[in-house]
Amino acid sequence: MKTHSLSNDQLSGLCQALSLLLHAGIPLGDGLSLLSDEDVPSSLRAILDGMARQTDQGSSLAEAVRDAGCFPDYVCGLLTVGERSGRTEEALSSLAAYYENRARLDRRLRSILLYPAVLLLIMLAVLVVLLTRVLPVFNDVYANLGSRLSGLAGGLLALGRVLDRAMPALFVLLALVLGLLVLFAASPAFRQRALGWWRKGRGDRGVSRKLNTARFARSLSMGLSSGLPLEEAISLSAALLDDVPAARQRCAHCLARLEQGAPLTQAMTDADLLPKGECRLLELGLRSGSGDSAMSQIARRLSEESEASLEEAVGRIEPTLVIITSALVGVILLSVMLPLMHIMSSIG
């Protein structure tokens, strides 16, 4: 059970510091003790002290990280790959870069999503006011002119009356939604549970699928660079995707096809593990003896593409909200004003 969730900035700084300490030849236990003596939160200091004692007793860093219960599965999995291949320092450096990018991307996403979220709330408020307050006024005007709202305007008026009666319940629902959003933003533990639930159902589609593929490619690159056989590197990399069952099944399907004697490109293509072009590039690299270099290029390119796709998807939210809400407001006003203009012209 995770007792404390570390932020992306904390994970990046911790992994980078451990990588530098290992590069300097400092034992893991001493390095963790040095980090705990720094100006860190008391909760993190207790975690580092516990990890230092465990590594001094002979446990590996991956075991200490896993037993600490506060690190993402990706950290535990990639450290396991690094230790199995004798590249712990490189694994820590890779994790530091990965979580630094994640932290930067999270800050950018928050800044990008803040304005659309505020805009959505304002537009919803405008729509509710139009339906519950403005349309009844127009209905009274029509009644004084001997007519009434009908068609689309009449349906919107009925909807406005329903919303007006349900306003207390809507306020409670809105407060609940806002509370969940604040909890999601402020509580890393709640956020991890919510994201974990989402990954199990829809965590391998669209942009999330590209992110999963990039995570797998980064781990596979490290395994191949360390001289691991392809099948073992794929198996270890698949362990990083335990939180996404659909992605884990793709890895298992690829391994099954390889055991059946299928060529690498065919096995990966059938399992949709990597894009077809990247599979061919990896196979050519393995045949020429430079598979680790080819996989490193593939991992870097897939990471850049996944981050670009995520930013592009988020960037489409704002114009989509503006178009939809503006269209709704326009439809409401036109459905009321056009009949009124017709009545006024008839009177004139």
Closest CA to 214 of 283, 300, 123: 300
What is the reported pLDDT for 348?
52
CA separation, residue 33 to residues 38, 55, 56 (Å)? 9, 11, 10
State the fold for domain 206-315. Answer: Receptor-associated Protein (1.20.81)
pLDDT digit string (tens) for 37-59?
877 777 788 888 889 899 888 88
Q: Where are the domains of the chain?
A: 206-315
What span, in angstroms and rounded, lies between the C-alpha atoms of 67 and 57? 14
Q: How far apart are the first and last CA of the chain?
A: 76
Single-letter residue type at 313? A
CA separation, residue 147 to residues 136, 144, 335 (Å)? 13, 7, 15
What span, in angstroms and rounded, lies between the C-alpha atoms of 319 and 312? 12
Whether the CB-CB separation of 81 and 219 falls below 8 Å is answered with yes
pLDDT < 50 stretches in the chain: 1-3
**Which tokens hold the place of 71?**
């690190």
What is the reported pLDDT for 221?
81
CA atoms within 13 A on the CB side of 241: 30
Give the contacts of 295 (CB within 8 A, at least 6 positions apart). 217, 220, 221, 224, 225, 282, 285
Closest CA to 251 of 229, 227, 266, 267: 267
Whether the CB-CB separation of 2 and 68 falls below 8 Å is answered with no
CA separation, residue 62 to residues 82, 136, 264 (Å)? 9, 66, 30
